[in-house]
Structure 1
């Protein structure tokens, strides 16, 4: 074009993005589509907090990338602005112990972190509840990815402390929103009986988005996040197809961002199909990357060892693991069980001729993809 001497090339101070944050994981969209009934359930359960009463507890379930965290964040943004209500969202991938959960609650209330050692849980718990009573605040805690508390055998103790707070400290008012992305976890069934009797949550289930819903939501992100004319319908259709195939909306959102950055690396003013295809593998492995990022050093070491000994028996894998960590077999078994629950490895029992049964450990994901991300 005569008025475009660069032939569609970006200059140094240009971007295909209008607002790149629209494609970040913590972005809460103004328009939150196709989750009206789930939001109604959450609103119904949490409404008593606005009136100064203890809210109903809620169990939020559904596969990864179905809008669970976004729905809670959206509602918490409204609820947290109400006088006499304090909302705290805890990422249980990071804080997977009772002490860790209450440390995040403490930090929200007092605006500084408690000591990492030297203070008992009883004292930490007492300081939290006493401040809530003194300030006449209702506390609503969202345990995001609560399944990680189960993996560490911390769920029952954590929920018991939260739900029984009004008994140990009369006047404390606490409600819990438990968010689980593990379809194989029966949260209620796996809790201690003492917790089951007091949890009794409302349930909000978030199903996988269908293709039309994915197209609607990604279309909204494109309109808000990219400049006009950057990405055409054919490209959006391809991103929608790839996203629907994974069942995880976050893959599509991440794919849009990566495709935009790839277009910028070519100095292009438009995002083309070639940009989408170039970054599609990275986006498809988003869930793998996040699971690996949430692991401890020991857990990541075992994933690496399994990658090197894929398909071998658990005892042989342990020998290689022990050489690198000096940890005992009991701790090794705990880590194996956690990685199995996270679908990072498959720990399957098999019968061995004349030797009973043993577990064989195999990677669930492509070995090279795992190695790159480690």
Structure 2
């Protein structure tokens, strides 16, 4: 009997690959030509032109839904400017951080700070132990001592607004006012946001200096996504390995839902991997559909794993007492706390947590009228229970509950 691992490895070695260059389908890849973004590229370049004239540009806010090319365009323009000023007497330094990838304000500032210093000097920005204001002072000192003209690109800056509100430290204000403190060097802030409403949560003083210039990226159409896919396919796949109907389906699924080119490219990559694993000669419609299902499951698993322990216990309580009232779910939650030897939270806090989880769409609540007994809310899971079990199976505290 052939070992199943050997069989997979043999197939992978002997079977021909559908891919020519997988990197082209990775979200960090910056193509030579960014299709359907000519105007946006011009606007971002014009906004940053002062860097070539040895001056500080205005702070810039770039808006648009996910997958509309914002980060791609900003990175490409900055890379091209960097190439030109490398030999000049006004060198610029680009710093990039994604606020969504950092769970704390401290972590975000450390990530930016470490990009300012030479290798081996990481101790200046330790991962714990300093106050927020001390880290900020060190960032300012690093810029000043080395006369750096810095451009801070903060992707998903709407998450930074959340981190700021959680910490109570208004780093936005400090960042936008940094140049008033700098005697040498400069700091320009470029914020990239998926959320057009996030400005409403900002202090008016911050808003005026943060959004000195603004550029909005519109959604791609289905036909534009199709052209983007065809361009990537030429570079990423061996010729004639993708059915035209599969390309059309991939563009339609991503375009009609969100106008999200990044999702379309991801969908294509995963479909290609599924087809290759099965040793299929072509990527077909069925591979696109299965890739979409896998992406949805992966997204739900990631969301479930990101929750702290008590939220996970609460999700399990909803799953076990499906379609039950807040009171019944709280009772189920208390039982789970007892089993896992966790100190239970109050019913008020648990009710608040249920509302927070409901907002993510993982559970849904329905108001039920009980006549003279008033109203109550019943919660149920919107996911397949198997997805929850799969997501939580590696959590040692929860393994006995599944």
Q: CA deviation at 1:79?
A: 3.5
Q: CA deviation at 1:226?
A: 0.2
Matching residue of 1:119: 130
Does structure 2 conserve the Cα–Cα contact (< 8 Å) formed by 1:86 and 1:140?
A: yes
Does structure 2 conserve the Cα–Cα contact (< 8 Å) formed by 1:163 and 1:198?
A: yes
CA displacement 1:319-344 (0-9 Å, x = unmatched): 66673764756876886676566555
Matching residue of 2:158: 147
Distance 1:138 1:255 in 2: 39
Does structure 2 conserve the Cα–Cα contact (< 8 Å) formed by 1:48 and 1:55?
A: yes
Q: CA deviation at 1:217?
A: 0.6
> Does residue 171 of the first structure (1) align with residue 171 of the second (2)?
no
CA displacement 1:1-41 (0-9 Å, x = unmatched): xxxxxxxx986263110011112222222221112222222
What secondary structure, in the 3-state scheme, does the structure 1 residue paired with 2:198 have?
Answer: coil
RMSD (Å) for aligned C-alpha atoms: 3.5
Which of 178, 201, 213 aligns to 1:190? It is: 201
Distance 1:234 1:134 in 2: 58
Matching residue of 1:159: 172
Does structure 2 conserve the Cα–Cα contact (< 8 Å) formed by 1:251 and 1:283?
A: no
Which of 70, 73, 77 aligns to 1:71? It is: 73
> Does residue 280 of the first structure (1) align with residue 287 of the second (2)?
no
Instruction: Select the structure that is richer in helix.
Output: 2
Distance 2:154 2:367 in 1: 32
Q: Which structure 2 residue ranges, 5 or more long, are not aligned?
A: 1-10, 393-402
Which of 263, 270, 283 aligns to 1:258? It is: 270
Q: Which has the larger radius of gyration?
A: 2
Distance 1:285 1:230, change over 3 A: same
Q: CA deviation at 1:224?
A: 0.7
Distance 1:63 1:100, change over 3 A: same
> Does residue 88 of the first structure (1) align with residue 90 of the second (2)?
no
Matching residue of 1:213: 224
Matching residue of 2:252: 241
Matching residue of 2:5: none
Q: Is 303-312 or 58-67 further displaced after alignment?
A: 303-312
Matching residue of 1:104: 111
Q: CA deviation at 1:179?
A: 1.7
Which of 13, 25, 28 aligns to 2:27? It is: 25
Distance 1:121 1:150, change over 3 A: closer
Does structure 1 conserve the Cα–Cα contact (< 8 Å) formed by 2:15 and 2:279?
A: no
What secondary structure, in the 3-state scheme, does the structure 2 residue paired with 1:93 have?
Answer: helix
Does structure 2 conserve the Cα–Cα contact (< 8 Å) formed by 1:251 and 1:286?
A: no
Distance 1:338 1:40, change over 3 A: farther
TM-score, normalised to structure 1, is 0.81
> Does residue 132 of the first structure (1) align with residue 143 of the second (2)?
yes
Matched pairs, number: 364
Q: Which structure 1 residue ranges, 5 or more long, are not aligned?
A: 1-8
Does structure 1 conserve the Cα–Cα contact (< 8 Å) formed by 2:222 and 2:252?
A: yes
Distance 2:97 2:158 in 1: 12
Does structure 1 conserve the Cα–Cα contact (< 8 Å) formed by 2:149 and 2:187?
A: yes
Does structure 2 conserve the Cα–Cα contact (< 8 Å) formed by 1:93 and 1:294?
A: no
CA displacement 1:59-102 (0-9 Å, x = unmatched): 22222222222222222322444342111121111224332221
Does structure 1 conserve the Cα–Cα contact (< 8 Å) formed by 2:94 and 2:152?
A: yes
Does structure 2 conserve the Cα–Cα contact (< 8 Å) formed by 1:343 and 1:364?
A: yes
Distance 1:161 1:266 in 2: 54
Distance 1:175 1:29, change over 3 A: same
Distance 1:93 1:210, change over 3 A: same
Distance 1:135 1:281, change over 3 A: same
Distance 1:46 1:227, change over 3 A: same
Q: CA deviation at 1:103?
A: 0.5
TM-score, normalised to structure 2, is 0.76
Q: CA deviation at 1:359?
A: 7.2
Distance 1:76 1:119, change over 3 A: same
